[in-house]
Chain A
Amino acid sequence: MKSSLSTTWKWLISVRLTIFILLFIILFCILGTIVAQQGMTALPLEKVYSPQKLKWLRMFGLTDVFHSPYFIFLLFALATNLVACSIERLPKIWKHTFHVTPPPTNDPFLKSWTQEEARRGKYLLQRPGHGSFATLAEAKMALQLFFERRFGKTQVLVDAPEHFQVMVEKGKYSRIGVYITHLSLLMIMFGGVLGAIFGFEAGMSIEEGSRQSWLQHMKGSTGGLNLFRENGLPVKGFLNLGFDVECKAFRLETYDGSRPKSFQSDLNFYENDVKVASATIGVNTPFHYKGITFYQASYSDLGVGSADLKVFRTPAGGDHKKATMEVVSAVKPGDLYRIDGNAAFRVLSLETNMMNLGPAAKVQFYKTKQDKKPDEFWVFQNLPGFDFSHRKNESIHFVIDALKPKFATGLSVAKDPGVGVVWLGAACLILALFIALYTHHARYWVSYSKEHGFTIVGWSNKLFLFEPKFKNFYDDLKKELKI
């Protein structure tokens, strides 16, 4: 029983398992990019694949690889492997690095070791001889001075009459870089899990000037929100935010009339009809409210929304040149607008291009309050004289000043309580990677004995990074001690 447990453990902490899992993750990632994925293609999957093919792909879960049980299992296995490896190796490395100073291996160190033998054991070795020192005490002093100057510290290992040895250790912390790397990856995974369990992705489309409290649910959990109810019944696929979002205004700027340069929405947030927050959001500048993030994702052009109308009043006598003018702005189709005590008008419809004559509005004009048969006629933006000549004898005339387009803003709405953990993990990952890959743990020993003179030994967990440093150290030592 015990042996089977230890076999399992050995298997669990093996790099072979890691490689195996990584290879499988790569394989499924590739599959996930060559098979069209659910919800990621412009066309529905039914149009991409034949029903027969789709049935097979669905059966093997290949249309949603990244959320399929085996992919999640692989990630889980990777996490387990990471944890197991860390548990197995971290204490050993910790002990090796922080608690034990390796004893000087005196004999091979001093006499029989050749450079090749040392190298095989990951040590670098130099034997420059005696130098110009007459006594051991002189050499000791010079050596200690050199170490203090170069590293700011020394550790005397041997201080005997015939033999003196000092040692310095650098970059211990480099060794834990790799464990922080793995820990950060676990953190990122954990953040991902938090997001998957408690977060959601949703969308909402709000017309300019209107309010909305429901979301179209696209992915993930309900994130603690209630389902949206209509007439007391929950509507499938919709969530209730619990507050209202109003799109007060939407602005679209274009480069040359076609390509969008920027688009922004002015949003107001209402709780129980009380305005609690407002924000302007744009692409790349989202807004957070109550743990929910609102992104500017898209917009839709709903055509003409309103018009600014110029209303001309010709004084008695019929001279249009003496007419006074006022602008009635944001006239919406259907609303009645009073001009003075008696007259009123209403726009019945707005056209962007009526019979190739440009923007036009159909106006219904009431001369008096009791007017039972109001006039109905068209007015144009590009033909300002049209209404004057068409209804020559009237005293009030209309011209379109401008048509205002109407937009609905398209918002992505998401909640992801794991995102902070992911960022923290990512930051640690990068930092730890730099530590793990670019720094190294090194030890320098220098010994002097009457018999053999100087012996200089270096060791590092990354020999190739250490070698130039050791060479530099050795050169400086020779120069300063005049060996």
Chain B
Amino acid sequence: MTVFQWSNQCFNIASILYAIAFVLYAGMMVSSKNIYMKGSTILGRLAWGTHTLALILRWVHAGVGHPPWTNLYESLVFFAWGVMGAHLFLEVRFKFKFTGVFACAVTFAAMGIASLHPNKEIEPLVPALQSWWLLFHVFMACIAYSFFLGSSFISVFYLLKDEIKVETMSAYAALACLIFLCLAVGTGFFTTGELQFYKVVQMQGKDVIMNFKDSAGNQVKEFISMPFTTWVIWPTLVGYLSTAALFFAKKDKWAKKIYLLTIVLHVAVLISILMAPRMNADFSLKSNPYRLASIFMTLGISFFFASLFKLKDKILLRLPDEPTLDRLSYEAILIGVPFMTLNLVSGAVWAYYAWGRYWGWDPKETWAFITWLIYVLYLHVRITSGWRGRKTAIISIIGFFVVIFTYLGVNLVISGLHSYATG
């Protein structure tokens, strides 16, 4: 086997290990049995080690000037590595293992989506990416985003421990899922009723999104018709809306039933999309991995909160006390902020050399700046105004959405609104 094949093999093994680690970390939240406690530690590290090895092998194969984070596939795999790495850092340093379940879920999902990617080849770098700043800039972004996500995971546990009702949290979770799903299916879905998964054809071994000209002469992308998925998405969206509404209206019994039903529908949506490449040769998951990632992520969120109804009491017993959780979440942000600053500054330096200006307010830059501002705001309200606990936990969770939007959403939503380049 070549180095490249070894690398891919390692990615596959790491994905499987992450799946097992996920189960063990989930078990560790409700039970102190050795198999969960020790098992999660071992499997988590093993998976991450394999993942690291895979990245190194890929890097070795591609050459030193070509780090393994230069296209969508690599980016997903690399940021997944970062999220798990940040968790392991927290685990080792603060003996806090609860973020593992989220980290493994996010990582496994990202690896899963990446593994569906048809083109895992190492692509030659376009001239603008041939720079050492690429290495530094993306690495800094990865560290910063990973710790911000880690902080938001801890904040969820804080809110749980702070006795915010699971019903209330679920209502907001359902609302978040609704919004993210709406973004995932795209604005076009509501105006045309058509799911915007682009038609992809193979041309000279590359996947190309099909374009055609409409009657007005505009370039239009061609969509694949996915009738089944379309039919399931509508009730899923309605389901989340009614779940949130019923929880807010304190009709908890009904809300829970609708919630479970919605999750089943959501799973059906996901399966129908994952099956699509087998049914339709024109469908490739590359046609819109961002949408797919959103659908995946929202399912994970609602699944987590639904499981809390059963597991809450057990988890509460095993969680550290509130001030500890509060401080941990803060410390994760403290790690993230300087790296986020390095990310912005290195991005500016690179932009200066490649594009002739250090700042140009393009959407990705602007959203990175917004992310930075959110955490700067967090530091100010915490250090200067003395906010603690619930308020800062909520900011940290808002931070989660902002980070995800900066990483995936900018490319997904904003390029959909108008014709910025998808970068």
Q: How large is the interface on A (under 10, 10 to 19, 20 to 34, 35 or more residues)?
A: 35 or more
- Give complex CA distance A40, B362 in Å: 8
| Chain B CB within 8 A of A22 CB | yes
Task: Kindly state whether residue B191 has any CB partner on chain A within 8 Å.
Answer: no
Q: Does A333 contact B (CB under 8 A)?
A: no
**Is A73 an interface position by the 8 A CB rule?**
no
User: Number of A-B pairs whose CB atoms are under 8 Å?
Assistant: 120
B257 at the interface (CB under 8 A from A): no
**Does the CB pair B354–A201 fall under 8 Å?**
no
Interface check B281, CB cutoff 8 A:
no
List chain B residues, Cβ under 8 A from A48.
Answer: 418-419
Q: Which residue of B lies closest to A43 (CB)?
A: B419
Query: Which listed residue (B124, B369, B370, B384) contacts A261, Cβ 8 A?
Result: B124
The one of A23, A41, A438 that contacts B418, using a Cβ cutoff of 8 Å: A41
Q: Is the CB of A255 within 8 A of B373?
A: no
The segment from A164-172, A323-331, A411-419 that touches chain B is: A411-419
Q: Which residue of chain B lies nearest to A284 when distances are taken between CB atoms in the complex?
A: B131
Which partner residue on chain A sits nearest B205 by CB separation?
A256
Minimum Cβ distance to chain B for residue A420 (Å): 11
A33 within 8 A of B: yes
Inter-subunit contact A285/B353 (CB<8 Å): yes
User: Contact: A19 with B380, CB < 8 Å?
Assistant: yes
Asked if A62 is an interface residue, CB under 8 A from chain B, the answer is no
In the complex, the answer to whether A283 meets B341 with C-beta atoms within 8 Å is: no
Residue A143 lies at the interface, judged by CB distance under 8 Å to chain B? no
- Given A29-B370, A48-B418, A430-B342, are A464 and B128 also a contact pair (CB < 8 Å)? no
Residues of B within 8 A of A255 (CB): 124
Q: B131 and A412: CB pair below 8 A?
A: no
Question: Which residues of chain B come closer than 8 Å to A295, judged between CB atoms?
Answer: 353-356
Q: Do B358 and A412 touch across chains, with their CB atoms under 8 A apart? A: no
A422 to B345, CA, bound (A): 10
Residue from B355, B366, B410, B421 within 8 A of A297 (CB atoms): B355
Question: When chains A and B are docked, how far (Å) is the Cα of A299 from the Cα of B354?
Answer: 14
Q: In this assembly, does B348 line the interface, its C-beta being within 8 Å of a C-beta of chain A?
A: yes
Q: In the complex the two chains form, what is the Cα distance from A464 to B383 in whole Å?
A: 12
Which residues on B sit within 8 Å (CB–CB) of A15?
A: 380-381, 384-385
Contact B128–A284 (Cβ < 8 Å):
yes
**Are A429 and B345 within 8 A (Cβ)?**
yes
Which residues of chain A from 257 to 294 have any CB-CB distance to chain B below 8 Å in the complex? 259-263, 282-286, 293
Q: Is the CB of A416 within 8 A of B419?
A: no
**A259-B130 in contact given A22-B376, A33-B367, A414-B357 (Cβ < 8 Å):** no
| Binding stretch for chain A, among B102-110, B225-233, B261-269, B330-338 | B330-338
A284 pairs with B354, CB closer than 8 A: yes
Q: Does any Cβ of B come within 8 Å of A5's Cβ?
A: no
Complex partner residue of A430 from B126, B331, B341, CB under 8 angstroms: B341
A192, B419: Cα distance in complex, Å = 28
* Residue-wise interface mask of B (348-380) relative to A, using a CB-CB cutoff of 8 A (1 in contact, 0 not): 110011111111111100110110011011001
Q: For the complex, what is the distance from the CA of A414 to the CA of B354, rounded to whole Å?
A: 12
Q: Closest CB of chain B to A418's CB: distance in Å?
A: 9
Cα A42 to Cα B377 in complex, Å, equals 34
Q: Does A34 touch B at the CB level, under 8 Å? A: yes
Q: Give the distance in Å from the alpha carbon of A295 to the alpha carbon of B355 in the complex.
A: 7
A434 within 8 A of B: yes
Write the B127-162 contact mask toward A (1 if CB under 8 angstroms, else 0): 110110000000000000000000000000000000
Chain B, Cβ-Cβ closest to A67: B361
Flag A339-350 by CB within 8 Å of B: 1 or 0 each: 000000000000
Give the docked Cα–Cα distance between A201 and B358 (Å): 12
User: Contact: B414 with A22, CB < 8 Å?
Assistant: no
How far apart sit A43 and B327, CA to CA, in the bound complex (Å)?
A: 48
Asked if A37 CB lies within 8 Å of chain B CBs, one says yes
CA distance A43 to B218 in the complex (A): 11
A419 adjacent to B369 (CB under 8 Å): no
Q: How far is the CA of A437 from the CA of B144 in the complex (A)?
A: 15
Nearest residue (CB) in B for A423 is B349
Q: Could you list 5 further interchain pairs (A-B, Cβ under 8 angstroms) beyond the known A433-B341, A438-B334? A: A16-B385, A34-B417, A285-B353, A423-B349, A433-B337
Chain A positions within 8 Å of B, measured between CB atoms, are 15-16, 18-19, 22-23, 25-26, 29-30, 32-34, 36-37, 40-43, 48, 66, 192, 201, 255, 259-263, 282-286, 293, 295, 297, 412-414, 416, 419, 422-423, 426, 429-430, 433-434, 437-438, 464
User: Could you show 25 A-B contacts with beta carbons less than 8 Å apart?
Assistant: A15-B381, A16-B385, A19-B377, A22-B373, A26-B373, A26-B374, A33-B363, A41-B418, A41-B420, A42-B420, A43-B419, A48-B419, A282-B127, A283-B354, A297-B355, A297-B356, A412-B355, A412-B356, A426-B349, A430-B341, A433-B341, A434-B338, A437-B334, A437-B338, A464-B330
